[in-house]
Amino acid sequence: MADPTGVFRSFLPSHKLVVSVVIFVTASCSSGLGCERISDFAGYWTDSTADFHGDILAHLDGFKDKGNPAKIQLSRLRIAWQQAAGAAGKA
């Protein structure tokens, strides 16, 4: 059986999220979200509370404003979360 943490660490880059976003999502709770598995990522938000910009991008240089680079990463985060939530039965 595949290691859930390893699967998650390859899941985020497969959605073309930049390294700084992947690091923030997977970093310990003191410096990031602390997600270790796809189910952690899926369960972090619900449809009504998803604020990927405020929860992730606003903490990272180059994405704090809502310009084009942030919009692209925001779109990719939404798609990744939707796929993760669907896989976890939360969508």
Note the pTM of the prediction, 2 decimals: 0.86
Average pLDDT, the chain: 89
For residue 48, the model assigns a pLDDT of 74
Q: Write the burial class of residue 36 (CB in 10 Å: 0-12 exposed, 13-18 middle, 19+ buried).
A: middle
- Kindly compute the dihedral angle of the four CA atoms of residues 50, 51, 56, 62, in this order, to the nearest 10 degrees: 140
Does 84 have pLDDT greater than 70?
yes
Does 2 have pLDDT greater than 80?
no
Report d(CA 72, CA 57) in Å as an integer: 11
Domain span including residue 61 = 4-87
| Structure confidence by residue, pLDDT tens digits, 45-73 | 988 778 999 999 999 999 988 889 999 99
Name the residue type at position 62: G
Report d(CA 4, CA 53) in Å as an integer: 25
Give the residue-averaged pLDDT of 2-23. 87
